[in-house]
Structure 1
Amino acid sequence: MGWLLIALTPLVGPLPGPGGIIVFAAGLGLVLRNSAWAKRRYVRFKRRHPGWGDWADWGLRRASARRRIEICRERRRRG
């Protein structure tokens, strides 16, 4: 289903509004949750581009993103 949503993105993109972005994000979320291959690629992408990976983690509401945010907050409190 996720791959289908990603494939439909170019068809939805020209419509008014941000529909293409939403459809792509939903498809990517489904693929990342259900595909081991996609998860490995995503981890490599996050290592190369940490800023973009943070946004994706936040959008997917991943537990690793929440842990990382809490660690950063704790470091700021300490000093």
Structure 2
Amino acid sequence: MRILQLSLGGVLLVGAAAMGPLPGPGGIFLFAGGMILILRNSRRAQVRWARAKRRWPRVGNIADRAMRRRSALRRRARDRVIGSR
């Protein structure tokens, strides 16, 4: 099942690249879906994603929020508590 989900994630990423030049936001949704499937099923991808987020934190936070990752939700909740003090 894991290999199937990784493969589907890769297909979605390729589809997002193919839909990129077309008008409309269709490629964005395919890209997000592909990233979600890959990041949930590949430890290596998770490590690389964490490194990229450390290097470009602003872009990583936006992407995490858009993909509704649990880490982004925890970070936002923590920031709200710290900001309210």
TM above 0.5, one fold?
A: yes
CA RMSD of aligned residues (A): 1.3
Mapped pair 1:29 → 2:36:
yes
How do residues 6-45 of structure 1 correspond to structure 2 at under 5 angstroms?
6-45=13-52
Q: TM-score, normalised by structure 1?
A: 0.85
Runs of 4+ aligned structure 1 residues displaced above 6 Å come to none
Measured after TM superposition, the shift of residue 2 of structure 1 is: 0.2
Q: Which residue of 1 aligns with 2:83?
A: 76
Counterpart code for 2:10: W
**2:56 is equivalent to residue 52 of structure 1:** no
Q: Give structure 2 stretches of 5+ with no counterpart.
A: 1-7
TM-score scaled by length of structure 2 = 0.80
The CA distance in 2 between the partners of 1:45 and 1:61, in whole Å, is 18
Give the aligned length: 78
Higher relative contact order (CA 8 A, sep 6+): 2
Tell me by how many angstroms 1:46 deviates.
Answer: 0.9
